[in-house]
Structure formats: C-alpha cells, structure tokens
Structure 1
Amino acid sequence: MIRHLPPFAGVALAVGLAACAATTASSPQLVDESLDAPLVNPIPTSLTGYLAQGVIDGATLLGPPPAPDSLIGQADRARYLETRALNDTPRWKQAMVDNDLWGGGALKQYSCRLGVSIDEKQTPATLRILHRVELDVRTVGKPAKDHYNRARPMIGDDRPICVPREDWMKTNASYPSGHSMTGWSWSLILAELAPAKADDMLAVGKQIGESRIICGVHYASDIEAGRTLAGAMVARLHADPQFQADMRKARAELARAKAAPRNCPA
C-alpha cells in the first residue's frame, strides 16, 4: 500500500538525510508500508540496499512463530500484558523515542554514545551504510513477515500502546520485528566500525528491540527473530564488495571525526 508521507520535523532528520533525496521538494512524498510504518524512508531516496531479493531465506531460517498455546506463546502474551503497566513511566517514554529510528530517535542515541554525529556533513559514508542497510531490512524481512502473517499483540485488545493505533497495524505482520532487525543490524555495523564503543552500540540496539515490546506492538519472540535475521543479514553483507568498500570509507571518516553530537544526555 502506498500513501502520502506526512511532513517530518527535526534538524537531525533534515541535515542527516537531505543529500539522499532523489525527488524535488514539489514532488509528492510516497512511501511503502510493507514494513512497520515508522521504518519507511524518512524522505524519498535514490539509494538501494546492498542485497537482492531472495539472497537470504528469512522464513526458512527463522521457522514459524510460537503457537499461542505453546509455553513460549503464553510467555509472549504474559510479557505483553505485564508491560502495559509501564504506561507513562520513563521507560515507556523512552520507548516512544525509540520508535522513531531516524528523526532524533535511535540515530541520535547512536551518535551520542559514539561521541560523533552521524550525519551527512561529518560522516556521510557511515550514514549511507545505515540507510542502505535499512533498505536491506525490508528486502530480507518482508518475505518472512508475509509468509507467517502473525498478528500484532494489541490487535483485538484496547490496552494502551506507546504509539497511535493505525489501520496498517491490522494487516502488517508482527514476526519478525523490523525495528529490532534494523536496530541490531546498525549496532553490529557500528560496533565493527568503532570497536572501542562496541558495548554502547550494542546496548542501543538491544534497547530498540526491547522498546517494541514495551510499546505493545511486538511480542518478545518477534524481537528475537528480528535480531537473528539481522545477524544473518550482516554476515551476508560482508561478502558484498560494495559494502566492504563503504565500510572502509566509514571507518576512515569516523577515525577523523572530532565534533561531538549536541543535546546529548549528561
């Protein structure tokens, strides 16, 4: 399904991704809702992912999600019900921030912990990798989503979730989590680019996945599946010559970068 993209706000979004735009300002901004709506491109782009469709068989790799009446399925549901009590807590509010991967959300957290702003001006090669990998998440993750078509935990349930309820949630499958897959892929790549900050990078990726459970839009097993598929995808990316070349550029630019990101938590 294609729909018009509402305007995005935030200096980080405008600066970090403006150079990736492929259409003029007057062109309609169209997005693909095949994965989680917040995962769509922040703005139209001419970039493509590194991987071709079918390079990784995510559905076979993951296997089916747990049956609702299995022990894991029951634990998934119990975790969903338990985390509804976090509504309006600081962790709930952090989950709301983590929902926005690009515009001041996850990307800013990686930058703050890295000590270097990931943006088009200072680290364009690094930003380009993250953008292309997010596109690969859709290429690799969508077939598994479509194949298993697991309903999200809040469907048919009116308990609070940390994001607005939208119609796409009724038809967009829950397993694997695209946010978790993106966050973990980014963490693995940034940990490789900046080994001294590996713990910090992985912590952000873990938090992004956990936030999807707290938000109430994914089961815990969706998050685990997203991380598993992310690990397989990043491993496969290392066999791609263009990815290898981009990683060399990103490693060099991060070594040169000096300016710390602004507005980071003390």
Structure 2
Amino acid sequence: MIRLSKPFTTTVAVAALTLALGACSALRPVMGVLRPAHARTPVDATAYGASKLRGYLGPDAIDGKTLLGPPPAPDSLRGQADRQAYEQTRALQGSPRWAAAIRDNDIWAGGALERYSCAAGRQISSQATPAVWKLLHRMELDVRTVGTPAKDFYNRSRPMIGDDRPICIPREGWMKTNASYPSGHAMVGWSWALVLAEMAPANTDALLGAGKAIGDSRWICGVHYQSDVEAGRVLGAAMLAREHAEPQFLADFAKAKAELAKAPSRTAACPAD
C-alpha cells in the first residue's frame, strides 16, 4: 500500500501518483471496463435523475489516443506478458478473488461502489450522498467521452476473444466489438479513487487501494489485459486533472466534499477479496 505524507491538493499530485503506480505495476495484471452505453444503464439512474446528467468535458478536452499511444504489440515482451497474465489467472476461477472480480464488474450495483463506501467509512449512495453520487456519475460519463475515441482508434481485441477459457462474467456479443484498450472500468475506478481521496484525505490509502482493486479485477476476470488497465488509470487521472479546470466540476466537488464529511458512517461489514 502506498502511503502519502499529505493528501492530494493538486492535480499535479494526482497525475504523478498515477504514473508512479503504472511504472511499479509493469509486471502485474489489472482489471477495468465499461459496457457500451447502449448495453447498460446505471442502477438507480431513473430514481436519481442521472439519465439527464451530462459529463463535465467535451469531446475535444483530451486527446486520449495521442496521450496513451498504441497498446503493446502481441509479439513484444509486454504483449507476451499481457497474454501470459491472462492465461495464468484463468486458474483463479472459483477463488475468493474471482468472486470479488464478479462483484466489481457492476460499477453501480455490484462491489465497485461498495468498495469506496468501505474505504471511506461512509455510506455512499444516491440516497445518503446525492451530491457525491452526482459527481461520480458525471465523471463516469466523462470516461465514455474521453475513453471511447482511443478504444475505437486502436481497436484492440479483448483477451478472451477466440479463447474459450473461463471469464468471470457471461460472454456477450458486445465484447467482440467494444475494444479492450484502454479499460473504461479502470478509468472509472482510478478517477473515483483519486477524487474521493481529495474529499477524504485521511482515507487516502484505503480509497486508492479500492480504486486499484477495481482495476485489478478486470484482468482477473479475463476481460482486459494488464496494459489496458494501466492505460485506463493514466487516462482517468488525466481526465480528472482536466475536470479540475471546469467551474461546474469545482462547484460540484465542493458540495460533494462537504456532504461526504457529514455522511452516515458505514456500519455494515465490508466483503473481503
């Protein structure tokens, strides 16, 4: 676990930490992807009015494909390591970590949002923390805006395509057309961890651990390569840095931070990996 001497106070620190983690995890696999917008609607979206929300950023805010560059070539050392990680982690089927990857697959109703509630020690939900919920939801919409062009441009196939070994979620048709690089789940998981750590700096270690775990669940699940997740983390941090330049984001962040500080303490037991 990475320990910080002081909480995040600038987006420079956000970007620096992400790059450091990417370098340190170069030989480890990771998780993180979103189903395409037409294939999925966030749970409780209607009740909260989330379907009427928009992200903070426009389509030209970040050039993700240039920032990231291409994914590793299959025959490169990194490409081979990606494939080896996928093959080795198929043996995790049925393990507790495999079960956690299944929970993490659903960002809203599964284990992903629950991880942050546990890490923050506060109940995060549309009812308990509507301002936090709104901010997170608008950030998820930005993930689609920022991440989709790079996905479409590089069009990397997911690791399980053409391979019948087990993955932790049902195989669906969209997996053949929704590209693997960068990981949308990793973008969401890491950007949420960073923004929540800014709101609750005393819980930085736990929140960043939750964000990392959500990314790691994607390679464990078998729906992404390790480098897909690392790219998602880099792009997610860049997205958050850019969002800090938007007045509406800053206004929503101030409300969310004040709300989280007063949110009900979480009393339920947290699931273990």
Return the TM-score normalized by structure 2. Answer: 0.82
- The yes-or-no answer on 1:255 pairing with 2:265 is no
Distance 1:64 1:246 in 2: 34
Identity %: 63
2:224 maps to a residue whose letter is H
Would the aligned equivalents of 1:95 and 1:215 in 2 still touch at CA under 8 Å?
Answer: yes
1:129 maps to a residue whose letter is L
1:143 counterpart residue number: 149
- The yes-or-no answer on 1:212 pairing with 2:218 is yes
1:157 counterpart residue number: 163
Match of 1:72 among 68, 78, 81: 78
Distance 2:82 2:271 in 1: 32
Instruction: Mark the CA change 1:68 to 1:197 in structure 2 (over 3 Å): closer, same or farther.
Output: same
Instruction: Mark the CA change 1:76 to 1:68 in structure 2 (over 3 Å): closer, same or farther.
Output: same
Would the aligned equivalents of 1:184 and 1:206 in 2 still touch at CA under 8 Å?
Answer: yes
- The yes-or-no answer on 1:50 pairing with 2:79 is no
Distance 2:237 2:38 in 1: 31
Would the aligned equivalents of 2:100 and 2:111 in 1 still touch at CA under 8 Å?
Answer: no
2:202 counterpart residue number: 196
| Greater relative contact order (Cα < 8 A, sep 6+) | 2
Would the aligned equivalents of 1:101 and 1:107 in 2 still touch at CA under 8 Å?
Answer: yes
Comparing 185-194 with 116-125, which one deviates more in the overlay?
116-125
Instruction: Mark the CA change 1:251 to 1:3 in structure 2 (over 3 Å): closer, same or farther.
Output: closer
Q: CA deviation at 1:114?
A: 1.0
1:91 counterpart residue number: 97
- The yes-or-no answer on 1:19 pairing with 2:48 is yes
Q: CA deviation at 1:261?
A: 5.2
Would the aligned equivalents of 1:174 and 1:222 in 2 still touch at CA under 8 Å?
Answer: yes
Would the aligned equivalents of 1:17 and 1:119 in 2 still touch at CA under 8 Å?
Answer: no
1:235 counterpart residue number: 241
Q: CA deviation at 1:79?
A: 0.5
Return the TM-score normalized by structure 1. Answer: 0.84
CA RMSD in angstroms, aligned pairs only: 1.9
Q: CA deviation at 1:252?
A: 0.9
> Any gaps of 5 or more consecutive residues in structure 1?
22-44
Q: CA deviation at 1:251?
A: 1.1
> Any gaps of 5 or more consecutive residues in structure 2?
1-35
1:26 counterpart residue number: none
Instruction: Mark the CA change 1:248 to 1:52 in structure 2 (over 3 Å): closer, same or farther.
Output: same
Q: Would you say how many aligned residue pairs link Structure 1 and Structure 2?
A: 237
1:185 maps to a residue whose letter is S
